[in-house]
């Protein structure tokens, strides 16, 4: 059993990492950075779960979830790179907006 | 003992297993039509078991059972009502998808139907799960299958890829918060059983409150509740007709039902119930306000549907926050009303040739009468027009709110209906009172496969005329949730 202060420290680190990762996943300007944010958020969540004493199957499910998100995200980034010629989310959003505006023209 | 009665005893497991097995079969490389047939049979079997369970438990008074062997399942009142709804919606959307199979090739067709079944299976699993482990796995299966389904459209429309990426990154952040939330709850109550939250002696209410808040926020994001719905308009708008039907109807209702389940368990815990009620009410009020304003200004049909769904979801959350039997029953009736309206609008749009722009609806009542009728029923349901199920839900919500002195909640319900008159009225006006614009008119993609979904949506909307069966079911589900006999 880990001492209380160590568990609290790991929990704080985990929650902090999750928040940093979540912000990066939401607002990252580059899709690869967004995916990195996703991974950081999951690693933080796993740390927090371990500090809170989550059972082993739960932690294993968390790891599986992290890898499934990473796999799907990576596949999407490759397809986006092929389709848009880049992975900068600002450029992709600008192209989407342009295409949507042209669709609305009668 | 006959096979059917034996199957009925294991209905919660079979309603999840049927779509999972169906997905495995449908994913085999075969023509899209054959894959669709497998998917429909699996979805119908799942709907049969879910509706049978609901009928026996909510109307027949059969006791709730726990299924702890192998797969730990313990459906409660909300689970049983909303699982029947979700599985029924899954069957209807997959039937309607038959008309869309022509547009899918041999490679993507089977995958699309398999993913659609996985969405239904995932959310059904979350609804029936006994412990947090099963709940999280169900939520994530349903969500990730939805993301992959949205991305399948990327072969034809690259914007579907960016919408799927947005969905993935927002959903992943929510999933991480969900994991922490669940771990906080487990730590605070000393148990990983979902139902233990209500009975546990919570010595650290702060920890439990934080856990429930994170869990509810994560589920609200996945259900498209405002202001956490940033991914929804893009994903709904670009996902393609089949994915839009699955994500916008089955996924949204499944996520909302899962949120309601957790919210009700949180409300039932004396140490944290007050805080949970305040959080749900605040989130609901915000969702009504933001969703209504955005729906009034929406330029495309999927965006309008996404924003309108957020506004309706807000009313559901406020009803839930009341914490009473009447409030729970009102929330369930409104969930059904929202499902009927979403099915009517989205299946109607798919039947009308995938009409996305509002202008493409001009004159639809003459070109595709059944789709036009479905649009009208959906719009009237969103408004809460008299004799529709939407009206019944609002009325019950107002009654329940006034009963506990929440006058502001009654005002929020009326405001949501008034906003619904603006955006719903705009749809009806376009369908019946405008001449078709030939330059942007989408050709109706009529197929008999759309008929069940459209007729069911219209019939469900008009259920408000004779609602005794629905009210009995919702009342029984609410009573079970509060620990009383149905």
A45 touches chain B (CB under 8 A): yes
Rounded to whole angstroms, the Cα distance separating B338 from B280 reads 18
Q: What is the pLDDT along chain B (486 residues), one digit of tens a residue?
A: 688 888 888 889 999 999 999 999 999 888 888 899 999 999 999 999 999 999 999 988 877 776 656 668 889 999 999 999 999 999 999 998 888 766 667 778 889 999 999 999 999 999 999 999 999 999 999 999 999 999 988 888 888 999 999 999 999 999 999 999 999 999 999 999 988 888 888 888 899 999 999 999 999 999 999 899 989 988 888 888 888 999 999 999 999 999 999 999 999 998 999 999 999 999 999 999 999 999 998 888 889 999 999 999 999 999 999 999 999 999 999 999 999 999 989 888 888 776 678 888 888 888 888 888 888 889 999 999 988 999 999 999 999 999 989 999 999 999 999 999 999 999 999 888 888 765 555 555 556 777 787 888 888 878 888 889 999 999 999 999 887 655
Query: 3-state class of B20 per DSSP?
Result: helix
* Contact between chains at B180 and A48 (C-beta distance less than 8 A): yes
- Give the pLDDT of residue B72: 84
Torsion angle of alpha carbons B326, B253, B245, B55, nearest 10°? -70
Q: How far is A37 from chain B (nearest CA, A)?
A: 8
| Residue in B51, B32, B60 with CA at minimum distance from that of residue B116 | B32
Torsion angle of alpha carbons B21, B24, B27, B31, nearest 10°? -50
Q: What is the pLDDT along chain A (106 residues), one digit of tens a residue?
A: 567 888 889 999 999 999 999 999 988 889 999 999 999 999 999 999 999 999 999 999 999 999 999 999 999 999 999 999 989 988 998 888 888 777 766 5
* Contact between chains at B357 and A104 (C-beta distance less than 8 A): yes
Work out the angle between the directed axes of helices B158-189 and A89-104 (0-180°, nearest 10).
120
| Residue in B19, B25, B68 with CA at minimum distance from that of residue B45 | B19
A92 touches chain B (CB under 8 A): yes
3-state secondary structure B362-402: CCHHHHCHHHHHHHHHHHHHHHCCCCCHHHHHHHHHHHHHH
B133 touches chain A (CB under 8 A): yes
Count residue pairs from A and B with Cβ separation < 8 A.
127
B126 CB neighbours in chain A (<8 A) are none
* Contact between chains at A18 and B180 (C-beta distance less than 8 A): yes
- Give the pLDDT of residue B445: 57
- Give the pLDDT of residue B66: 66
Query: 3-state class of B67 per DSSP?
Result: strand
For the entire predicted model, the pTM comes to 0.94
Q: Which residue of A has its CA nearest to B170?
A: A26
The secondary structure of residue B56, as a DSSP letter, is I
- CA B189 to each of CA B166, B206, B210, B216: distance values in angstroms, whole numbers, following the listed order: 35, 11, 13, 17
Angle at B399 between CA B393 and CA B400, to 5 degrees: 90
Residue A98 burial by Cβ neighbours in a 10 Å radius (0-12, 13-18, 19+): exposed
B132 touches chain A (CB under 8 A): yes
Q: How far is B332 from chain A (nearest CA, A)?
A: 31
Closest CB to B176 among A45, A77, A93: A45
Q: How far is B269 from chain A (nearest CA, A)?
A: 21
Q: How far is A17 from chain B (nearest CA, A)?
A: 10
B21 token code pair: 């097995």
* Contact between chains at A38 and B169 (C-beta distance less than 8 A): yes
* Contact between chains at A58 and B137 (C-beta distance less than 8 A): no
Q: How far is B233 from chain A (nearest CA, A)?
A: 13
Q: How far is B142 from chain A (nearest CA, A)?
A: 12
A87 touches chain B (CB under 8 A): no
A8 touches chain B (CB under 8 A): no
- CA A16 to each of CA A20, A22, A46, A94, B129: distance values in angstroms, whole numbers, following the listed order: 6, 10, 12, 32, 30
Rounded to whole angstroms, the Cα distance separating B50 from B6 reads 15
| ipTM for the whole complex | 0.94
**Of all helices (H) and strands (E), which one includes residue A95?**
helix A89-104
Closest CB to B137 among A52, A61, A84: A61
Closest CB to A18 among B162, B177, B440: B177
- Give the pLDDT of residue B347: 87
Rounded to whole angstroms, the Cα distance separating A93 from B224 reads 20
Beta bridge partner(s), residue A74? none
With a CB cutoff of 8 Å and minimum separation 6, the contacts of B303 are B233, B236, B237, B294
Closest CB to A96 among B159, B177, B179: B159
| Conformational region of residue B340, where left means phi above 0, alpha means psi within -120 to 50, and beta covers everything else | alpha
């Amino acid at each position: 059993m880990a001492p209380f202060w160590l568990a609290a420290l790991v929990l704080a680190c985990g929650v902090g990492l999750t928040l940093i990762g979540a912000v990066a996943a939401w607002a990252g300007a580059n899709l690869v950075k967004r995916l990195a944010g996703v991974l950081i958020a999951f690693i933080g969540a796993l740390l927090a779960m371990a500090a809170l004493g989550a059972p082993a199957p739960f932690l294993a499910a968390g790891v599986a979830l992290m890898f499934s998100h990473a796999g799907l995200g990576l596949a999407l980034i490759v397809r986006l790179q092929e389709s848009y010629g880049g992975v900068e989310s600002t450029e992709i959003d600008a192209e989407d907006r342009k295409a949507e505006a042209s669709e609305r023209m009668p | 003992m006959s096979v059917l009665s034996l199957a009925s005893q294991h209905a919660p497991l079979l309603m999840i297993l049927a779509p999972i097995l169906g997905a495995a079969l449908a994913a085999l490389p075969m023509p899209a039509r054959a894959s669709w047939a497998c998917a429909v049979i699996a979805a119908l079997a799942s709907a049969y078991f879910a509706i049978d369970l609901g009928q026996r438990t909510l109307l027949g008074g059969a006791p709730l059972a726990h299924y702890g062997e192998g797969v730990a399942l313990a459906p409660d009142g909300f689970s049983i009502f909303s699982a029947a709804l979700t599985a029924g919606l899954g069957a209807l959307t997959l039937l309607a998808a038959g008309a869309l199979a022509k547009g899918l090739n041999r490679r993507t067709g089977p995958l699309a139907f398999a993913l659609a079944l996985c969405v239904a299976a995932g959310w059904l699993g979350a609804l029936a799960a006994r412990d947090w482990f099963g709940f999280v796995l169900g939520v994530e299966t349903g969500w990730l299958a939805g993301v992959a389904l949205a991305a399948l459209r990327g072969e034809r429309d690259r914007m579907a890829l960016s919408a799927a990426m947005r969905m993935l990154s927002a959903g992943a952040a929510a999933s991480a918060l969900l994991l922490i939330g669940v771990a906080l709850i487990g730590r605070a109550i000393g148990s990983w059983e979902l139902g233990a939250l209500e009975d546990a002696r919570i010595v650290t209410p702060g920890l439990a409150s934080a856990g429930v808040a994170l869990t509810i926020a994560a589920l609200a994001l996945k259900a498209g509740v405002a202001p956490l719905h940033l991914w929804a308009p893009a994903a709904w708008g670009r996902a393609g007709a089949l994915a839009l039907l699955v994500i916008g109807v089955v996924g949204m209702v499944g996520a909302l039902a899962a949120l309601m389940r957790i919210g009700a368990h949180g409300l039932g815990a004396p140490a944290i119930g007050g805080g949970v009620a305040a959080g749900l009410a605040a989130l609901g009020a915000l969702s009504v306000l933001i969703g209504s304003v955005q729906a009034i200004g929406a330029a495309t049909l999927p965006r309008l549907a996404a924003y309108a769904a957020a506004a309706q979801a807000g009313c559901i959350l406020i009803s839930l926050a009341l914490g009473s039997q009447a409030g729970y029953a009102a929330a369930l009736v409104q969930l059904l009303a929202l499902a009927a309206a979403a099915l009517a609008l989205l299946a109607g749009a798919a039947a009308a040739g995938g009409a996305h722009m509002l202008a493409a609806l001009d004159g639809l009542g003459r070109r595709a009468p059944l789709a036009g009728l479905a649009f009208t029923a959906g719009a009237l349901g969103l408004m809460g027009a008299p004799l529709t199920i939407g009206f019944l839900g609002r009325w019950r919500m107002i009654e329940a709110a006034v009963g506990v002195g929440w006058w502001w909640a009654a005002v929020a319900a009326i405001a949501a209906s008034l906003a619904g008159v603006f955006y719903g009225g705009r749809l009806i006006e376009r369908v019946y009172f405008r001449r078709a614009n030939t330059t942007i008119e989408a050709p109706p993609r009529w197929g008999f496969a759309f008929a069940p979904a459209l007729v069911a949506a219209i019939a469900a909307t008009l259920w408000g005329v004779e609602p005794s069966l629905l009210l009995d079911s919702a009342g029984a589900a609410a009573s079970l949730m509060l620990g009383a006999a149905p």
